[in-house]
Structure 1
Amino acid sequence: MLVWGDVTAALEATQRCVLVSILEIAGSSPREVGTRMVVRPNMTFKGTIGGGRLEYDVLHEAVLMMKKTVSSFQTRSYALGPDLGQCCGGRVKIAFEQFDLSNLKTAHDFSTQEEVGNFSTIANVCGSDRLERHVLPAHASDENGPAVALNQGKLTERFGEDRPHLYLFGAGHVGKAVVLAMASLGFKISWVDERAEIFPKYVPSNIRCIHLNEPQVIVKNLEPGNYVIVMTHDHKRDHAIVDAAVRRSDLAFVGLIGSATKRARTLSRFKSSGISEAQCKQLVCPVGITDIKSKKPSDIAISIAAQLLVVKEKQMSISKGDFRLAC
């Protein structure tokens, strides 16, 4: 979630909003520390802290805070079982921070910075006074620490999103369905096709359309950890792209739309061109969850999106430790 863009939009639309953040959790919780919502006076909101009674009560608390127009920052703890009747046995501490039009410039500045990349801030918390955040230098930011922490009156926060980068080759029916399915799933998407006219006029902000006659040339310059999915209108072009992708060993995912027959032919051509067995194993073809047999573009897209989410979560577990929050 890009917090400050939502804060800016809320202030421009309704002149007031509350930023809700999960500060601490103990035991089971529907969401993790650092999860946020931006609530408007009419109780519409962006983001979610997990739904259910907790979110219901938090929404009402945020709206009540805006009606009082007194405090700018406050915290409240919720015991999910005793207080709310939820089956979770945990406890969460929530921060409520109110903004008005006097915060608009700061929100806009932080929104611009958030679009560029991740950054961290620190602020002194003095009762219910308005927070003044100061951006921390990169060397002072703890990338492995909690996204939000309140210790001894100092609030430290990280903003921005670590979005995996997917390169989707092909803007046909399935490509369009994949973009729709994945637009909100936390990926940055570069959508590549040689036919400039085939792209939709409008796409979500996390999607960049690239018109390129020889799309395989991009593959050599991809950053390590990028994802690649290939579904162009030309089988020869498909092969050229996946050939370039599997010759690398540092991509997170290389997928090719097709059948078992297409996979066999592709692997045969790989071997005849000197690609090793280990390199061949990087190719996922057919792409998508195999239990979904439908050939409808929308169903294929959901299948692919689910498969990439599984890969993404496995990578996150490896990098941050294997855990899951549940309610």
Structure 2
Amino acid sequence: MRVWGEVLSALDAAGRCVLVSILDVAGSSPRETGTRMVVRPDMSFKGTIGGGRLEYDVLHEAVSLMKEGGAAFQTRSYALGPDLGQCCGGRVEIAFEQFDLNYRGRAQDFSTQEGVGIFSTTANTCSSGPLERHVLPPAMCRADSAEIVLNQGKLTERFGEDRPHLYLFGAGHVGKALMLAMAPLGFQISWIDERREIFPKYVPSNIRCIHLNEPQVVVKNLEPGNYVIVMTHDHKRDHAIVDAAVRRTDLAFIGLIGSATKRARTLKRFKDSGVSEAQSKQLVCPVGITEIKSKKPSDIAISIAAQLLVVKEKQMSNAQGGFRFAS
């Protein structure tokens, strides 16, 4: 979730809002440290801290703070078992931060920065007024740093999204189903096809439709760590794309829709054209988790999306030393 974009939208719509953040977790909890949601005066909200009684009580507390006023930044501690009757049994520290239209300009600035990428801020929480956030230099902001830390009155936060980039080649039935399945999963998606008319009129905001007559030319310009899924209407086109992809060694995932027979033929063509065995092993074909056998487009899409989530989570775990931060 783009936190400041939601804060800005809430201020424009309602004039006030509360940013709720999980500051700390001891034991089990529905969501991780750094999870956030934005609450409006009518109790509508964006994001989630895990649902259940915790979220219910936090929503009511946020609305109450907007009605009663008080310090702009406050914290509350919730024992999930004794206080709320939730089976998680942990303890969660929640931060409540109130905003009104006086903060709109700052929220606009932060929203713009979110669109560019990850950034970090620091603020002193000891005063009763709105927090004065200071943006840290880029060199001090890392994608694997904690999303939020409160230490002796100093609040350090990380905002923005480091979304993996998926290049989806093919806008047929399965491509359309995969686009919808992937939309909420935290990927930036470039959706490529040579048939301009085949794209839907409307797509989610994290998906960009690209019309190219020779889509394989894109592959050489991909960034290291990008994901590639190939499912065009032309087997020759499929091969040209995956051939270009496996000749690189820095992509996160290369998947090709097809059967075991298609895989065997593709690997033979790789060998005949000088692709090494190590390069060939990068190809995942058939793509998708093996437990799902259905050939329905929607089921294939879920299978592929699940496989990509597994790869993404492994990468996050490796980058963050095994600790997962919320998105």
> Which TM bucket (shorter chain)?
over 0.9
Say whether the 8 Å CA contact 1:27–1:90 is kept in structure 2: yes
CA distance in 2, matches of 1:149, 1:225: 28
1:46-195 matches, within 5 Å, as 46-141=46-141, 143-195=143-195
Q: Point out the more displaced range, 163-172 or 134-143.
A: 134-143
Alignment correspondent of 1:286: 286
Amino acid at match of 2:318: I
Say whether the 8 Å CA contact 1:38–1:45 is kept in structure 2: yes
Going from structure 1 to structure 2, the CA distance change for 1:296 and 1:105 (only over 3 Å counts) comes to: same
CA distance in 1, matches of 2:230, 2:35: 33
Going from structure 1 to structure 2, the CA distance change for 1:207 and 1:143 (only over 3 Å counts) comes to: closer
Alignment correspondent of 1:5: 5
Alignment correspondent of 2:320: 320
CA distance in 1, matches of 2:206, 2:318: 25
CA distance in 2, matches of 1:270, 1:34: 45
Q: Which runs of 5+ in 2 are unaligned?
A: none
CA distance in 2, matches of 1:167, 1:24: 36
Alignment correspondent of 2:269: 269
Deviation, structure 1 residue 235 = 0.6
Give the secondary structure class of the aligned counterpart of 1:311.
helix
Say whether the 8 Å CA contact 1:26–1:90 is kept in structure 2: yes
CA distance in 2, matches of 1:234, 1:128: 63
Going from structure 1 to structure 2, the CA distance change for 1:215 and 1:142 (only over 3 Å counts) comes to: closer
Alignment correspondent of 1:199: 199
CA distance in 2, matches of 1:240, 1:189: 20
Amino acid at match of 2:279: Q
Amino acid at match of 1:167: Y
Query: 1:190-209: per-residue Cα shift (whole Å, max 9, x none)?
Result: 11111122212221111111
Say whether the 8 Å CA contact 1:149–1:157 is kept in structure 2: yes
CA distance in 2, matches of 1:290, 1:142: 35
CA distance in 2, matches of 1:40, 1:113: 23
CA distance in 2, matches of 1:211, 1:250: 25
Query: 1:230-270: per-residue Cα shift (whole Å, max 9, x none)?
Result: 01111100000000011111111000011111111111111
Give the secondary structure class of the aligned counterpart of 2:245.
helix
Give the secondary structure class of the aligned counterpart of 2:311.
helix
Task: Count residues in correspondence.
Answer: 325
Query: 1:174-200: per-residue Cα shift (whole Å, max 9, x none)?
Result: 111111111110001011111122212
Say whether the 8 Å CA contact 1:33–1:148 is kept in structure 2: yes
TM-score (norm 2): 0.96
1:213-232 matches, within 5 Å, as 213-232=213-232
Deviation, structure 1 residue 142 = 5.2
CA distance in 1, matches of 2:142, 2:281: 36
Deviation, structure 1 residue 69 = 2.6
CA distance in 2, matches of 1:133, 1:322: 29
Say whether the 8 Å CA contact 2:118–2:141 is kept in structure 1: no
Alignment correspondent of 2:20: 20
Say whether the 8 Å CA contact 2:6–2:38 is kept in structure 1: yes
Q: Alpha carbon RMSD of aligned pairs, Å?
A: 1.4
Deviation, structure 1 residue 7 = 0.7
CA distance in 2, matches of 1:311, 1:55: 30
Q: Point out the more displaced range, 307-316 or 97-106.
A: 97-106
TM-score (norm 1): 0.96
Deviation, structure 1 residue 322 = 2.4
Amino acid at match of 1:244: A
Q: Which runs of 5+ in 1 are unaligned?
A: none
Deviation, structure 1 residue 321 = 2.1
Say whether the 8 Å CA contact 1:74–1:127 is kept in structure 2: no
CA distance in 2, matches of 1:324, 1:317: 6
CA distance in 2, matches of 1:303, 1:141: 35
CA distance in 2, matches of 1:56, 1:73: 20
Alignment correspondent of 2:295: 295
Alignment correspondent of 1:212: 212
CA distance in 1, matches of 2:206, 2:174: 19
Alignment correspondent of 1:260: 260
Deviation, structure 1 residue 277 = 1.4
Amino acid at match of 1:262: K
- Percent of aligned pairs with the same amino acid: 80
